[in-house]
Amino acid sequence: MKKILSILIFILVTNIAYAASEKIYLKCNEFVTENQVTAESGEDIYALNKGMYSKGTFLTISFAELVIKESGTKIMVYRSPFDGEGRVENYNKIIPSVTMEGKHGKKKKAIVKNNTYTYENSGTFDPFEWNDIYKYIKIDNIWTVEIKKLFKVTNNNVIEAHMEWLAEGKCVLLDKKTFKIKIKKGINEEDETL
């Protein structure tokens, strides 16, 4: 009798713990809304960014895993390092996490406000500076993403590379199996339509 009671309590606790969290798997497209690099960064850098990150440019497809709990939300973002026309170089290859911590990355604690879940990964490692902000917004069961990206390389107070832009896109929900396959096997041209 004690054994049966123990099993029932275990099942009940497991179900409560499972019900207390929700996992969301998203696939999102990214379109530039604003290039934030100015001519002050240097003529060559400005020209490169103006072409590569001009308003309306399709950058890539990104993926996000949100683990939503009452105690807090964590997010993991996966994205190809190649943008725009260069994204084809990463077709059918593993999609890395943006955090690059550990073997497969690390989920980051999200800032949650209303139905907006914000992921931020920023830092400096001489000569590099980066800031990735992804805001996943849910309105009437429709998900969108707003993105702010910064990547800068500075040596001896001289800017050698500077990319900075705002982007946004629509997202679709994926099941866990499809999500995991896309991360492991990569995307191709067919994936770029939502």
The full set of domain ranges for the chain reads 24-185
Helix (H), strand (E) at residue 176 = helix 176-185
The mean pLDDT value for 59-67 works out to 93
Q: Which amino acid is at 188?
A: N
pLDDT, residue 45, reads 61
Q: In angstroms, rounded to a whole number, what is the distance separating the alpha carbons of residues 89 and 3?
A: 57
Give the pLDDT mean for 163-168: 89
Task: Find out whether 161 and 127 touch, Cβ atoms under 8 Å.
Answer: no
Q: Give me the pLDDT at residue 103, please.
A: 52
Q: Phi-psi region for residue 81, left (φ > 0), alpha (ψ -120 to 50) or beta? A: alpha
d(CA 85, CA 159): 24
pLDDT of residue 89: 83
